[in-house]
Amino acid sequence: MEYKTVKVEIKDHVARVSLNRPEKKNAMSPQLHRDMTQALEDLRYVDDAKVLVITGAGDAFCAGMDLKEFFHELKGVQSEYDRIYRMATEWRGRTLRYYPKPTIAMVNGYCFGGAFSIVEGCDLAVSANEAQFGLSEINFRMFPGGSVSKSLANLLRPRDALLYAMTGRRFNGVKAADMGWVNMSVPLADLEEQTMALAREIAAKDPVALRACKDGYRFSLEMSWEASMSYTAAKEHEVMVLQKGAWLESGIGDFVKGLYKPGLESHTEKK
């Protein structure tokens, strides 16, 4: 799996996907959008990659859209601008949101503008305390466009979203965790180890159940109560078919036999 601006390494069933333009603080160029689109498509079908961790090469997570290669150079080339714009919103939005495998953003440094949509698109996020987040668009006389406004609306409290969007002030990983923008924040020196431990913990769970976790949550957000009850009942049958009855027969069956306590340990991890 070779890409010009993205690096993929798979170890312990975890795919580490690095935005790989460290000399440009991993700003998202048109090529990076093409590469991420392709990498996510490829990893979808790699069975060994059970969880994805998205991070940045070097000392930055991602400096947002490439202001030069995307906005400046493509603005006059309308069809290509539209093509990359669509691709850029699609992989960070729909593709990540409904990705069939769990995704974790590992924020190792600067995270600006369009990079907020990577963090929000992932299911989970772990940040370095030292990371710096900023909605810098207002500083160049713009607003959080593309998928970014929706990302803010999805995950931030209104006061936080508008404060940071209207000022361009930066906040660090500790603040990001306080705000619920990331799950947790740890010292940069521990970021890799702690994020990978989380990824391995999740990778050890049943993949069919994990996908149902995501779908059940994400689709229920958009459904009425009645529709959600109907959807999750149907999903239960889907899990049953795909796992060949494993959750009921061994998952619950082994508890009933007194073999383990699911409140305290995982059946999948035990085997």
Q: How far is the CB of 154 from ligand COA (least distance, A)?
A: 18
Q: In the complex with ligand COA, which residue's Cβ is closer, 110 or 164?
A: 110
Q: How far is the CB of 52 from ligand COA (least distance, A)?
A: 23
Binding mask 106-145 for ligand COA (x = CB under 6 A): ----x-xxx---------------------xx--------
Instruction: Catalogue the long-range contacts made by 137-145 (C-beta closer than 8 Å, 24 or more residues apart).
Output: 137/113, 137/165, 137/168, 138/165, 138/166, 138/167, 138/168, 139/168, 140/67, 144/113, 144/116
Q: In the complex with ligand COA, which residue's Cβ is closer, 23 or 226?
A: 23
Q: Does 68 bind ligand COA (CB under 6 A)?
A: yes
Per the CB < 8 A criterion, the answer to whether 205 and 266 are in contact is: yes
Rounded to an integer, what distance in angstroms lies between the CA atom of residue 43 and that of residue 36?
Answer: 10
Of positions 65, 74, 208, 210, contacts ligand COA by CB under 6 A = 65
Per the CB < 8 A criterion, the answer to whether 134 and 164 are in contact is: yes
Per the CB < 8 A criterion, the answer to whether 115 and 176 are in contact is: no
Q: Does 72 bind ligand COA (CB under 6 A)?
A: no
Q: In the complex with ligand COA, which residue's Cβ is closer, 33 or 267?
A: 33
Rg of the chain, C-alpha, whole Å:
20
In the complex, the residues that contact ligand COA under the rule CB under 6 A are 24-25, 27, 63-68, 110, 112-114, 136-137
